[in-house]
Structure 1
């Protein structure tokens, strides 16, 4: 912050105390250039003016004001000051633009990744979203959890691709789920409604790469009146069931196609049912978790790591998952990461244990 001032002070002192062969005053032209990086335009011009005044004072003290080298140095400092002021103005414009774009991205992100209540029905919930790039605000990963007349219904998915098109598809699928989850009588119907929305959105957004565009999704329904969970996996990574120090991979009995490929494949959607007792926990995640690699190229062994998390609340499960992924990855996260942890409890005999720890990293869930 104060480096421009330090350059002027140090350059002036050194030039004043050293013999004529040394020309430390030439370093003064660096002061306005440094100021342009962190100071406003007015501050940059003020620093440049101070540098010029310091050079004139040194020239007067040494009787060299009218010499060609001194005049050349003054001209260079003046030109650098004007150029630095112009660059500073451009930097400030870019910063304002970035701030505006960030606000827009945050608004768009809040549509896809809204804050999820910590408790719905007979389950506790925590969510995690981490963008692969530090500057990224939105991507193709999405999730939603709703309490419907059929129980708690959850969706997690991943649109193939990056950027605004992927985010638009994710927003479309999330909005479709929010509408259909309340009246679709079962998960097969719900998956079909999502497939229809995906096809319609793709038709409104023609693209030469649409033949390779699809979205994986995992639908989960936790009944309010019975200890079961129902799942439909549309080409998505399998959910994990955490129970009493053990982890079970909930592989689908019959594979279901990813969204946008259902009509092409001609395959229907299949519902799997699993017991979900009080204390059991479901861990849903995108392939940004399972495809993280270490330095030797090995994939992240999520089921093995999750065995030590079966007794901790959902928020801490996801916090440990995030920390473990960072440690495991060789070069940082190469893909967006989204995860949802759902833990069942019996509302007739116990209150939810609660989880006041940070529930996520990235964005509010």
Structure 2
């Protein structure tokens, strides 16, 4: 309810701002006419008339800016004719000044429109690239329930360094959630490298530690090819996890990433802290071997991984969002409902303000009741066939 009210207030505020901007040039023209009527002829209202096309230039179309400029010139011309002072030096200078300003407003309008078109084109290209390398996973992979979310810091952007991927492999379901240092197209390129290397390694490497090392080597190769770590955004924090086929074991390798959570069906919550902290990918090659930690993922439990856009979200008083404290004791039907509630809650915590992108990935083992229902549906379908 709070989120919807906040969105309504934000949308209403934006609508009011747009309406005010649309009528502001007309208000300036009216103010110029009134000012001229109540002041002596030697007092000029040209600054008010000149302001109208300048205000219109960044916000109106080219035709709209032309109309505002023409109306401003005609009004000044009509006022000077009615005053009988058009032929004098000062009124002529005022008129020439207004015409010059109107022409400059057209130039400004053209520059702003061209810049907006280029920005829109760059955003479309970046978003297309990001969606290509970061597709939404299927809601059921390897017998597990899966849900993912990507929340951009800006409402109209989908470009950043947060990443997630899930793969159904011969060794079980494997997943990665990571955060590349930086934003923009360079970050998208780094995301593509990490996800591409993960999908290949997840199919080929026998151990989760081996997958982590493949990612490390892929980043090192790409960094060397581009001439240094800075060109590849420096490093990537990541959590890799694995649920082997036919097992309730959960293996996790944490490379400098926020600690994921394990939510049990009874509301109990575990913070999956690594036994031995490790450096992010891109910083720890050869430093020490990766080591996975093991937990149990029973029926009805869910594994939740996220980027630091969640843990570094602050409220108006600067208090950080604590997902473990906010989720402990709460029950959710499945991963999708969990992520929906989590994004709503963090948005409520920050008041809709966000300074960093946020990626969330939840994987759950269906409860026994859900498994039985799926078996029943399969049997019914086979009988009907």
Question: TM-score, normalised on structure 2?
Answer: 0.81
Match 1:247 to one of 269, 276, 282: 269
Map 1:286-305; keep pairs closer than 5 Å.
286-293=307-314, 299-305=320-326
Counterpart of 1:179 (choices 184, 195, 200) is: 200
Ranges in structure 2 where 5+ consecutive residues have no aligned partner: 1-21, 376-385
Counterpart-to-counterpart distance in 2, 1:29 and 1:269:
68
Alpha-carbon distance in structure 2 between the residues aligned to 1:215 and 1:86: 44
* Structure-1-length-normalised TM-score: 0.85
Aligned with 2:339 (options 313, 318, 321)? 318
How many matched pairs? 351
Question: How far apart, CA to CA, are the structure 1 residues paired with 2:75 and 2:316?
Answer: 55
SS at match of 1:220: strand
Distance 1:133 1:337 in 2: 11
Residue 52 of structure 2 contacts residue 72 of structure 2 at CA under 8 Å; is this kept in 1? yes
- The alignment partner of 1:169 has SS state of helix
Corresponding position of 2:12: none
| Larger helix proportion of the pair | 2
Offset, 1:19: 5.3
Name 1:259's counterpart in structure 2.
Answer: 281
Residue number among 134, 137, 145 corresponding to 1:116 in the alignment: 137
Aligned to 2:10: none
Distance in 2 between the 1:235 and 1:10 partners?
A: 61
Greater Cα shift, 241-250 or 58-67: 58-67
1:237 aligns with 2:287: no
Q: 1:307 aligns with which of 320, 325, 328?
A: 328
The CA RMSD measured in Å over matched residues stands at 2.9
**2: distance between equivalents of 1:41 and 1:195?**
52
In structure 1, the gaps of 5 or more residues are: 353-365
Task: Name the CA shift for 1:335/1:39 in 2 (closer, same or farther; >3 Å).
Answer: closer
- Could you tell me which of 342, 362, 374 is aligned with 1:341? 362
Mapped contact 1:12–1:25 kept (Cα < 8 A)? no
Pairwise mapping of residues 1-365 of structure 1 onto structure 2 (< 5 A)? 1-12=22-33, 15-16=36-37, 20=41, 23-24=44-45, 26-132=47-153, 137-207=158-228, 209=230, 213-243=234-264, 244-265=266-287, 267-293=288-314, 299-329=320-350, 332-345=353-366, 346=368, 348-351=371-374
Worse-superposed segment, 67-76 or 89-98:
67-76
Contact kept? 1:31, 1:51, Cα under 8 Å: yes
